[in-house]
Each structure stands twice: as structure tokens, then as C-alpha cells.
Structure 1
């Protein structure tokens, strides 16, 4: 029945169960009824047979003529509503009286006649006492079965429709989603299973819609990030070629800065591709996180001065076993992001702490991140610049790279807190084995 609707399969299953149950019930009841009637009526018929045999034996012993014996048998057959006959020792019928309707089920009782009466046997053939009851019961059972099957078919159709409606709605939503409608959502039914399925489908649809939104935004942002320095570089070179501006060190420095900006975007794209490669190659070694944090701050001193932002590193000395270059790059991306979103005279604090896992907390003094942006801060090319009130900055992949690098070293990164007084990113890494 593969490929048939669930309603049809359910109805067929229920109908089959009912038919099997009613058939078994009919067999059991028929046997029980026959046995019960035999136990009730059998002794009575046997007594009647014994009485008839005694009368026939007496008549035969006294030499009564066959005509009188036949009349006697006829009276007994009439009273018994059956057929009675006398057979000799060879089984040949000597006398017979009475008749039975055609095609009727019968029970035959037999008893031997005495030797003095000539031997042989007296047989009485009677309509089966159980047959009418069994026939009536079977007819009632058949009618009951037809009604039950019809009722169950209707009930199965109703139940199957209720069970499959959520599945049909989910299938319809899936077809809409496959057709490009990323807003398609499914409604679950009243049962737990369909609700869980609809929830899972909606979660997938939301992720696809979010990914598509991010993809479109990424294409726009990436085009801007590549076009702006490329345009500046082209304009600078063209101006020098046309003699509009002199090809001196100042103009060449502007061209170099534009080329460097373009190279930075391309480099970060390559870095993201490498970070998302599976598996990411790493070289674990003991890393002192406090020292690594100070090195990162020193490496970005020029950016701190340019943005007029101060920085501090505090906390306990913690050692982890990880790839030093990857952890440094991840922390540098998070730290640079914090600098970019801190106002002039702001501060970025890095706090190192030990525990079940080592933690690096990077806190800025920016405007915070809007709640609507929080689920996407680690998505590639996503920028929350609009919500954080700052200018467009960065390529939008620094935090994505940080997440991949930290994850490759067995750690995690998340936004712990955000608000008008700043945002805190937490990097967690497994502590080094003391042994």
C-alpha cells in the first residue's frame, strides 16, 4: 500500500482488524453454541430414541406386522419432526417413516436393537437444533460487521483527515519555500508530533530567510567595500596620469592607502574561507592568555591612537592549550571590533579569568547592540553599525572569523551583555591540563 494516502491505509487497517475480530468471534461463538445446544438437547433426544427403540423391539418380539410397526414409526417420526428407520445388521433399511425438508442440516442418533427382536439398529435423523441459532447469529454477525466496517471507514477518514491536515499544511509550506517564498511558515496540529515537525520546519525556514537576507546585504556591503577603495585608487592614478595632481609622495600615499584597503578586504575574505575550511589546521601549544592579550593591545596601538580610545588588560594569568596564532587573531578581531564601536575618549577592557574554562571578556564603551541584531552578530558580512550609531567600518567578517577560530580550538564566543554603556564579548577556552 506504499504510495497511497494515509487515510486509505488507516481505513484499510481498521477494516481488516474488524473483519479478523468478527471472524474469530463467529468461529468461537458458533462452536460454543453448538456445544451448548448439544449438551442441552442431546440427552432429551437420546431418551426419545431409547423409548422408540423399546417400543419397536417390543413390537418385533411380539410379531406385530410391518404395517402396524410402520404406523408406530410414523407417529414417533411425527412427534420428533424427523425421519426414523429400522436397519438390519447389514445396514439395509427395513422400515422407514417421516421426512425432512431438503437442504436441512441434520443430526443422526442411533441405537442397537436387541437380538431377540432380530438385531440391527434404530436410527432417528433430526434437524440440527443448533443450525437455526447459528444461522441467525451468523446473519446478525454479518450485518454487525458490515455496519462496523462502514462506521470505521467513516471514522478512519475523519481521524486520518485530522491527523494528516497538519502534514499537508507543512508539505504546502515546504513547496512554497522550495518555490522561493522564504516567508512560508507551517501551523502544527493539536498533537505533539506535528507541532514539533512544524516548529522544526519553521526554524529551518527562518534560518533560510535570515541567510538570504544576510546574503543580499553581504553582496551589497561587499560591493561597497570593494568599489570604494577601487574607485579612490582609480581616481588617484587617473588624476596623476592626467596631470591634475602631481605624482608626488603625498598622492602616492593616498593611492597606496586605497590599495591597502582593497587588499585588506580581499585578505579578510581569504581568511574567512580558510577559517571555515573543515578541518581547520591547528598547532596546539601552551598559551598564556594575559600575555597574549597584552600583545594584541600592543599590535593595535596605532588604531587605538587614531580612534582616541584607551585599553587595559587585567585578571589572573591563565594558560590554555591552543593554537597561539589562531587565538591571537580571534582576540584581535574582537578587540578591533570593540575599538571601532567605542567613542572618542572611550575605553576597551580585556579581563582574563580562570575557572572550569578560561575566559576573555572584551568590553567596550559603545552604544550597545540592538536586541534584533544580537542573533546575527557572528554572521558573515553582518554589520550592526546602524544600531550602534557608528559609521560603516570593517568588512563584517571579523567576528565570523573569530567564532570559527575559537570553535576550532574547542572554545566558544558569545555576547554576554549589551546596553547603552557598552557591549561585552566573552571568549571561552578549555584550560590547559595541569599535568
Structure 2
């Protein structure tokens, strides 16, 4: 709207300037033409005054010139007497002309004229002004039409995004913007839709997380309560085995709380890593030994292949926790009797650790999200193949990513398929 008003103002200013320029130019041309006609008349008068009856013929010429130019024409002799005259002085502004009448090189009289200052305005300039006004009006209407059309085309995608945003705010998670034909509105719609997708996924994860947390807390809490109640009632003897069962349930409960706390700490502020040399030929077997109970529960085989001297530069505690999470994830998703293989090698300035399982693989649509908190893949990957129960909160890989990132490392899905998944962890190598 403001641009349209500015354009109209510019057009009005241009019209005024054009009118003034044309008026002045036309007046100059008109004055020049009148002066030329008077000069021509002066030459003719000189010829007629030289003849015996020249004064009468001069008077007739003066009459014709006065009628043609619309003012007063006079022939003044050298003694100041009026030799011939016709017409009357024009009303209003006038222009005075004087042209000498020469005969044989001598001035014998002067042709004087008082003509209307803007005699031609009565014809050309009014018509020009009307034409200019019509052209300006057409231009203004055209600009209004074009600007309205362009504004509508430009604002339509914005209105579409605004409507989609209000629908999204009202809780309609499927609301999306369609965008427009130009690149900018398309990018705006795509950015909005990507944000809406993230919000929808976050809401889905939040709801799933609430359910999973409740389940993962309730299960060990129920076991612990039942075990203790059984001891109180004397159904189960209060012996080492009974206490161990209660302790195991309490440990499971504490593990869930610890995972949530670890993730909250990792995302609340950057982790403070204290890098040091970590000999993976020693650290990885220790992690395998710590997970031997889980391995035995799965009836799985855990192969570790790490050449001596494979040394990483990372926070020892962070790296050990990340490896433990990923290896435990691989064991959990392996079938009964499956094989999990952990290998490590130095490649240039980094150490690559590959952890491969023989699980059901990860769906292509889930690969990009496996490191998001509380995310669990499709049913085949989200349930324990041994028990058929959910595999947990989905925090292990998220925590591993945060821990590795603090030491300048990363984690990614290198390969996945129906015959298993391979994760690759990269950390800086000691000595660069």
C-alpha cells in the first residue's frame, strides 16, 4: 500500500514537471514562430513602402498580420509617427515585439506588435493537459491494479502460513502450509512445515516418553514393593536371595532415574570433558566383562577385536559410558544366540569403533531419529526379541551421542538391514 502511494505521488510530481517543461518549451517555440512571422512581414512591408502606393498596401498587410496573430500591429516611422496600425492590445499578459523595416540597408520604419503572451495555450496546451491527465489516471489505475495483484500474490502464502500457525497453536498437529509459486514463499512454507514436523514428532515423543517412564518406573517399583511385602508377610524368607531380588529391583529403578538425570545434565549445559589417553585394547574388554551378565541373559556371543596400541584421546568416563550404552543396545536387539562384534582401528587422526549386531535392523525412516531422546524405532526394534517387552526409554544412544560430542567425537549408523545394524563411533586418536 505504501509503495502504491509513493508511486502515485511520484507520477503526480512527474506530471507537474512535464507540464511545466512542455508549457515553457511550447511558449518558446510560439514566440520564435511569431517573431519569424513578424520578420517576414517586415521584409514584405519594406518592399511595399518603396512603391508609390506602398502605404495603402502596407496597411492591408498589417490588417492581415493582426488578424492572424490576434493582437495590435503598428508601423512606426523613423520620426515616431504611426504609418499604419490595426487591432487592439490584448487583455491580460502580452508580449511586445519590435522588428526594424529596412530598405536598401537603411531602417525606414519599425514594425511593432503587442500579442497575447500565451496565445497558443487556447489550443495545444489544454489538449495536452487533458491528455496528460488521462494518461496519468490510466497509469494510476494500472499501478493500483498491478500492485493489488502483486500484493495479493505475495501475501497469500503469508496468510496461508498464518492460518496454519493458528491451527497448529489450536492443537491441530497436522496443520501445514502450502506455500506459493515463488522461491521465497516456498522456502517459508517448507521451513514452517519442517518446524511443524518437529513439533509433532516432539509431542509424539513426549507422550510416548511419559508412558515409557511411567512403565519403566512402575515395573521395578512394583517388583520391589511385592518383594518387600512378601518378606513382611513371611511368604518369602528374609534371606540373601530375597534381599538380592529387592536390591536388583531398586537398582533397576535407580538406573531409569540415572538415565533421565544424565540426559538432563547433558542437555542443560555443555559437558566438561577431561580428555586423556584411553587404550581401547584394555578399555573395550573391560566393558565387555561388565556386560557379561546381559550377554549371558541373551545367550549371545560378544567378540572384541581391538589391536594393541589403539589409543583414543577422550574423557575416559564419557567414552566408557558411551561404549557401554551402544554395546548394551546391540546385545538387547540381538536375537537369542546372536553375535555382537566390537572392533576398533586407527584411521588417520581418529579412532573408529564399530559395533555390529544381528538384530532386525532399523527402518530407513527411523535412522535419522535414533539418537533423539525417548525415540524408539518401529515395533521390531522397539521390543525385546526375547521377552517381547519394550526395550526401554530410548535414552542410551542419545546419552552416548552427548558424551562423545563432549570429547570431539561422534556416532552414526554406518549400516543397517534385516541382518543387523552397525554403529560407528569416532573419537580423536591420541597423538593426533
TM-score range, shorter chain: 0.7 to 0.9
Instruction: Please list, as runs of the form range in 1=range in 2, the aligned pairs for 1:355-434 lying within 5 A after superposition.
Output: 355-356=347-348, 357-384=350-377, 386-388=379-381, 389-390=383-384, 391-434=389-432
| Gapped regions of structure 1 (runs ≥ 5) | 1-7
Matched, 1:199 2:197: no
Residues 142 and 246 of structure 1, relative CA distance in 2, 3 Å threshold: same
Instruction: Please list, as runs of the form range in 1=range in 2, the aligned pairs for 1:153-172 lying within 5 A after superposition.
Output: 153-172=144-163
242-251 or 164-173, which moves further after superposition? 242-251
Contact 1:361 1:427 in 2 (8 A): yes
Matched, 1:111 2:99: yes
Matched, 1:340 2:332: yes
372-381 or 158-167, which moves further after superposition? 372-381
* Equivalent-residue separation in structure 1 for 2:225 and 2:252 (angstroms): 13
1:357-416, CA deviations, whole angstroms, 9 ceiling, x for partnerless residues?
A: 432111101111223332321121222372225232333211110111112222221212
Contact 1:363 1:425 in 2 (8 A): yes
Matched, 1:309 2:297: no
Contact 1:189 1:195 in 2 (8 A): yes
Residue in structure 1 matched with residue 342 of structure 2 by the alignment: 350
* Equivalent-residue separation in structure 1 for 2:101 and 2:155 (angstroms): 75
From 15, 20, 23, the equivalent of 2:8 is: 15
Contact 1:385 1:392 in 2 (8 A): no
Residues 32 and 79 of structure 1, relative CA distance in 2, 3 Å threshold: closer
Residues 41 and 118 of structure 1, relative CA distance in 2, 3 Å threshold: closer
Residue in structure 2 matched with residue 286 of structure 1 by the alignment: 277
Matched, 1:82 2:71: yes
Contact 1:110 1:124 in 2 (8 A): no
Contact 1:14 1:156 in 2 (8 A): no
- Superposed displacement of residue 228, structure 1: 1.2
Residue in structure 1 matched with residue 87 of structure 2 by the alignment: 98
389-398 or 224-233, which moves further after superposition? 389-398
Contact 1:323 1:409 in 2 (8 A): yes
* Equivalent-residue separation in structure 2 for 1:142 and 1:315 (angstroms): 89
Residue in structure 1 matched with residue 204 of structure 2 by the alignment: 213
Contact 1:363 1:423 in 2 (8 A): yes
Residue in structure 2 matched with residue 241 of structure 1 by the alignment: 232
- Superposed displacement of residue 133, structure 1: 2.2
Contact 1:348 1:364 in 2 (8 A): yes
293-302 or 139-148, which moves further after superposition? 293-302
SS of the residue corresponding to residue 345 of structure 1 reads coil
SS of the residue corresponding to residue 178 of structure 2 reads coil
Residues 72 and 152 of structure 1, relative CA distance in 2, 3 Å threshold: closer
Matched, 1:124 2:124: no
Residues 23 and 318 of structure 1, relative CA distance in 2, 3 Å threshold: farther
- Superposed displacement of residue 39, structure 1: 5.0
SS of the residue corresponding to residue 287 of structure 1 reads strand
Aligned length: 422
Contact 1:315 1:353 in 2 (8 A): yes
Residue in structure 2 matched with residue 264 of structure 1 by the alignment: 255
Contact 1:385 1:393 in 2 (8 A): no
| Gapped regions of structure 2 (runs ≥ 5) | none
Contact 1:367 1:420 in 2 (8 A): yes
Contact 1:73 1:85 in 2 (8 A): yes
Contact 2:340 2:356 in 1 (8 A): yes
- Superposed displacement of residue 245, structure 1: 2.9
* Equivalent-residue separation in structure 2 for 1:32 and 1:293 (angstroms): 96
Residue in structure 2 matched with residue 319 of structure 1 by the alignment: 311
1:322-377, CA deviations, whole angstroms, 9 ceiling, x for partnerless residues?
A: 21211111111111100111112111111223335432111101111223332321
Residue in structure 1 matched with residue 41 of structure 2 by the alignment: 48
Residue in structure 2 matched with residue 4 of structure 1 by the alignment: none
Give the TM-score, by structure 2 length.
0.84
1:163-185, CA deviations, whole angstroms, 9 ceiling, x for partnerless residues?
A: 21111101111122222222110
Matched, 1:141 2:138: no
